[in-house]
């Protein structure tokens, strides 16, 4: 997703200037992570043996939301139930160290603090053990309600984090109704419980939205139209002014009462990590932005950026204001999915820019490639390179190819100054992508002719231009690989000959040909 750098800079500056007061109310959790290597299986049971290299304990749940809000520049008070056990002590210390006001935490004598302990061996979580707090009593609920009443005085925003671990809507809603902060955000497993609060924003994930609707939303990007179609139901059942449904790798969809269309954000795909709490970060960032009166669309866009930051970190992580700024001021992401590419092409075309499109395997990038890509870039204003995925390369080039996976090939192309955008496609030809983008110019190397390409008819049918650029002889990937193999074979042959010469016995006066029996043993006198 592309977010205006000025938007993020201005928002961070506004938060720093105003220091809004955010109250986090909810289920406090201590996340423990035990990390190590797992190189063998136990003889006692079919389970990996993890050799521990690191153990950490960090705030989780509502406590994670609180430390994220503080890291983004807000003043933060947290209200929740904790035990007087060791986990409660550690959690309070971690929160205080992060700058969160813990004076409104309600400590329950003899109670456990909810703890989630994860053991990670190598790159895989081996087990998660949840030690849950007991059910609060009426006295605990009353103490919590009084703490909420004290904490929300003069607050700019309140966020409720309800994971079904003890915080009850019937205790909190009346208090927030009496002294309502400027913004109320709810992140809850069961949002229907909080409908009476009439939140300004609720943040269900796809599973929570499906449970609220009582129907499946599908999978992957198919969830987006399903969420938009459910707009009226989601708003009615949550009682909220706006709903943003988080869809993990597919970003989010924001629905509000002023528009029938959803506002979409797109996540930046990240490699699989042992991550936890990206939803807490998203909720915290959106709340802090709304606390300084940012428009709803801007708040959600910045929250997506914050979530993108933490999913690249292992464990339960925090996005600071500094990390947020770095993420948007770093060089633009060049490798994009098809939806992002379509948006970028549309923006370029509206700005009067000429779009040039080419495609290929680009398995081993060489002079032939770079020459033709520079020539292609000169034909327009925006050069898009579509890259065959690994399966389609195997179908086209044989089982030994590609030599480099799609992620590496895309990274190399993205580093070229002449390339503006790179995307990966799975079909044998890029025709479906060409039909969607309708580039003004379609380019291929001069080792082809227009008549050889199935794409030619498609491009010419909508009025596009097909251009063949110069071919650089002996610089195809096949030729480069052939030369590498020939050089390797020659080096191996030379090494073999040298080894044979070294193995030959040296000549002596007694044996001038150096041909003594290799099995003869000389015994000194």
Measured distance CA(305)–CA(12) in Å, rounded: 13
Least confident range of 123-127, 319-323, 433-437:
123-127
Predicted confidence at residue 269, as pLDDT, reads: 58
Residue 83 clears pLDDT 90, i.e. is over it:
yes
The answer to whether residues 354 and 441 touch, using CB atoms and an 8 Å cutoff, is: yes
Give the strand pairing for 183-188 and 201-202. Answer: parallel
The answer to whether residues 227 and 254 touch, using CB atoms and an 8 Å cutoff, is: no
CA dist 129 → 32, 112, 116, 119, 448 (Å): 10, 14, 6, 9, 60
Structure-model confidence comparison of residues 315 and 379, the more confident one: 379
Measured distance CA(279)–CA(277) in Å, rounded: 5
Least confident range of 122-136, 160-174, 377-391:
122-136
Residue 28 clears pLDDT 50, i.e. is over it:
yes
End-to-end C-alpha distance for the chain, whole angstroms: 85
Predicted confidence at residue 472, as pLDDT, reads: 59
User: Tokens 């989780």 map to which residue?
Assistant: 60
Residue 511 clears pLDDT 80, i.e. is over it:
no
Q: Is 391 a catalytic residue?
A: no
Residue 519 clears pLDDT 50, i.e. is over it:
no
Structure-model confidence comparison of residues 492 and 515, the more confident one: 492
pLDDT tens for each residue of 240-279: 999 999 998 788 999 999 888 899 988 865 544 556 788 9
Position 514 confidence tier, pLDDT thresholds 50, 70, 90: very low
Q: How far is CA 155 from the centre of its chain?
A: 32
pLDDT tens for each residue of 124-140: 888 999 999 988 888 99
Residue 1 clears pLDDT 70, i.e. is over it:
no
The answer to whether residues 437 and 384 touch, using CB atoms and an 8 Å cutoff, is: yes
Residue 200 clears pLDDT 50, i.e. is over it:
yes
162, 250, 280, 390: which one is catalytic?
A: 280
Least confident range of 187-201, 216-230, 273-287, 485-499:
485-499
Length of the chain: 525
Position 19 confidence tier, pLDDT thresholds 50, 70, 90: very high
Nearest 5°: phi and psi at 23?
Answer: -105, 125
Least confident range of 41-50, 140-149, 261-270, 382-391:
261-270
Measured distance CA(411)–CA(213) in Å, rounded: 41
Q: Could you tell me the sign of the dihedral formed by the alpha carbons of 257, 262, 263, 264, in that order?
A: positive
Domains of the chain: 5-329 (3.40.1190.20), 338-469 (3.40.50.620)
């Amino acid at each position: 997703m592309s977010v205006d750098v000025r938007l993020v800079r201005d928002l961070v500056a506004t938060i720093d200037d105003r220091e809004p007061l955010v109250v986090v109310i909810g289920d406090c959790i201590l996340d423990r992570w035990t990390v190590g290597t797992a190189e063998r299986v136990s003889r006692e049971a079919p389970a990996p043996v993890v050799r521990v290299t690191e153990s950490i304990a960090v705030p989780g749940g509502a406590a994670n939301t609180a430390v994220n809000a503080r890291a983004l520049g807000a003043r933060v008070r947290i209200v929740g139930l904790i035990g007087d056990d060791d986990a409660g002590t550690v959690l309070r210390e971690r929160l205080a160290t992060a700058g969160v006001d813990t004076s409104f935490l309600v400590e329950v004598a003899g109670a456990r603090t909810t703890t989630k302990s994860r053991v990670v061996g190598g790159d895989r979580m081996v087990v998660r053990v949840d030690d849950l707090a007991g059910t609060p009593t009426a006295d605990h609920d009353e103490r919590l309600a009084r703490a909420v009443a004290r904490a929300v005085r003069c607050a700019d925003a309140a966020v409720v984090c309800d994971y079904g671990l003890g915080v009850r809507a019937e205790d909190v809603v009346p208090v927030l109704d009496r002294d309502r902060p400027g913004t109320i955000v709810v992140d809850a497993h069961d949002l229907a419980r909080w409908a009476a609060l009439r939140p300004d924003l609720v943040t269900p994930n796809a599973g929570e939205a499906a449970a609220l609707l009582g129907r499946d939303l599908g999978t992957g990007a198919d969830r987006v139209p399903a969420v938009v179609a459910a707009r009226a139901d989601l708003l009615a059942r949550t009682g909220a002014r706006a709903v943003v449904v988080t869809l993990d790798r597919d970003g989010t969809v924001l629905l509000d009462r002023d528009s029938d269309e959803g506002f979409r954000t797109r996540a930046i795909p990240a490699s699989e990590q042992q991550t936890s709490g990206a939803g807490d970060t998203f909720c915290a960032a959106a709340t802090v932005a709304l606390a300084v009166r940012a428009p709803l669309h801007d708040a959600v866009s910045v929250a997506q950026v914050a979530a993108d930051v933490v999913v690249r970190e292992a464990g339960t992580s925090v996005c600071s204001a500094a990390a947020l700024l770095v993420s948007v001021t770093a060089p633009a992401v060049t490798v994009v999915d098809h939806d992002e590419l379509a948006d970028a092409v549309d923006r370029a075309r509206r700005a009067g820019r000429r779009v040039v499109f080419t495609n290929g395997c680009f398995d081993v990038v060489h002079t032939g490639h770079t020459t033709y890509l520079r020539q292609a870039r000169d034909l327009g204003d925006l050069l898009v390179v579509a890259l065959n995925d690994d399966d389609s390369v195997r179908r086209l080039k044989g089982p030994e190819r590609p030599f480099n996976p799609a992620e590496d090939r895309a990274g190399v192309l993205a580093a070229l100054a002449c390339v503006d955008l790179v995307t990966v496609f799975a079909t044998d030809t890029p025709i479906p992508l060409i039909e969607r983008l309708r580039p003004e110019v379609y380019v291929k190397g001069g080792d082809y002719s227009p008549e050889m390409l199935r794409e030619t008819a498609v491009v010419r049918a909508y009025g596009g231009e097909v251009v063949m650029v110069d071919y650089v002889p002996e610089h195809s990937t096949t030729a480069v690989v052939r030369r590498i193999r020939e050089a390797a074979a020659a080096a191996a042959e030379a090494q073999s000959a040298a080894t044979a010469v070294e193995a030959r016995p040296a000549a002596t006066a007694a044996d001038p040909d150096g041909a003594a029996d290799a099995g003869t043993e000389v015994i000194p006198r």
